[in-house]
Amino acid sequence: MPWRALTLQVDRAAAEAFSDALLEAGAQSVALEVNGAMVAILALEQDFHSLIDRAAQAAGIAAPGFSIDEIADQDWVRATQAQFEPVLIGARLWIGPSWHQPAAGRLAVNIDPGLAFGTGTHPTTKLVLAYLERTIRGGERVLDYGCGSGILAIAAAKLGAAHVDGVDVDPQAVETAAANARANGITLNATLPDALAAAHYDLVVSNILAQPLIVLAPLLAARGPRVALSGILDEQAEEVMRAYRPWFDMQLAASEERWVLLEGVRR
């Protein structure tokens, strides 16, 4: 069966929201390429104009420009798998899909591409993974707020966190995170926000977008003494830090391309 591949040019700040919206609108898979382009795979009979318009409206952006290619089944499999090469994080972590052999001597986090954001290839995800690799020493309680695929929570557990919870507003993401945790041999309590029990954590991580992070500042601040925030462009960093300064000493902890990781420590 042939498929249609759409290559779309999307601003990085909107990439995650638009990727999620494409999947919700009916795309079979979505991948971010190294050059920043987004590739969506659709069944040949799908109305791609309507799908793009619906996804753009849901993400709050103008419909982006795109090019079209037709691919066969085997080409799709090879093309999709080629998008997800393993990633080495720091000295301890290996992140990769199930069809790759983990590197010897590293803690392996297997994440296959699917219906939730987070395979380890996007700069925002890599920034938090590197932060976890540097800071998790064992025994911590960690909350991943906006868990997507569960990659951050799973990595924290592999690095030695004693307890990990994940929260997402998307029921599909909650199911995916729980399934990925089971596949990695990790116990993860993944829930919708309203179902998260009152609890205190040593570290709260959140890789979403700047505006939701600003809105969530009081909620995340109430959960623990340390936060690590990503999904933030460098020009948005000061506004996000200002929202968290009533509770935390904030600093820019790391950056990659135009994305930054912010760290907050309770005063």
Task: Kindly tell me the sign of the dihedral angle through the C-alpha atoms of 134, 138, 143, 149.
Answer: positive
pLDDT of residue 206: 96
Distance, CA of 15 to CA of 72 (rounded, Å): 26
What's this model's pTM, rounded to 2 decimal places? 0.72
pLDDT of residue 72: 58
In CATH, the number for domain 87-266 is 3.40.50.150
53 phi and psi angles, rounded to 5 deg: -65, -45
- Tens-digit pLDDT string for the chain (267 aa): 567 888 998 887 788 788 888 887 888 778 776 556 788 888 888 899 999 999 999 888 999 999 988 765 544 444 554 556 788 999 999 998 888 888 899 999 988 765 445 555 678 889 999 999 999 999 999 999 999 889 999 999 999 999 999 999 888 889 989 999 999 999 999 999 999 998 999 999 999 888 899 999 999 999 999 999 998 989 999 999 999 999 999 999 999 888 899 999 999
Give the strands of the sheet with 163-167, arranged side by side. 189-191, 163-167, 141-145, 203-207, 226-233, 259-266, 248-256
Mention every residue, 6+ apart, whose C-beta is less than 8 A from residue 104: none
Task: Kindly tell me the sign of the dihedral angle through the C-alpha atoms of 239, 169, 179, 4.
Answer: negative
The separation between CA 45 and the C-alpha centre of its own chain, rounded to angstroms, equals 30
pLDDT of residue 75: 47
pLDDT of residue 11: 84
CATH 3.40.1130 fits 3-82, yes or no: no
pLDDT of residue 150: 92
Nearest Cα residue to 33 out of 59, 57, 62, 12? 12
pLDDT of residue 16: 78
Domain extents for the chain?
Answer: 3-82, 87-266
Same fold, 3-82 and 87-266: no
- HSE-CB at 48 with a 13 A cutoff on CA atoms is 21
The full DSSP string for the chain is: --EEEEEE---GGGHHHHHHHHHHHT-SEEEE-TTS-EEEEEETTS-HHHHHHHHHHHHTSPPPPEEEEEE-HHHHHHHHHHT---EEETTTEEEE-TTSPPPTTSEEEE----SSS--S-SHHHHHHHHHHHHH--SS-EEEEET-TTSHHHHHHHHTT-SEEEEE-S-HHHHHHHHHHHHHTT---EEE-GGGPPP---SEEEEES-HHHHHHTHHHHHTT-SEEEEEEEEGGGHHHHHHHHTTTEEEEEEEEETTEEEEEEEE-
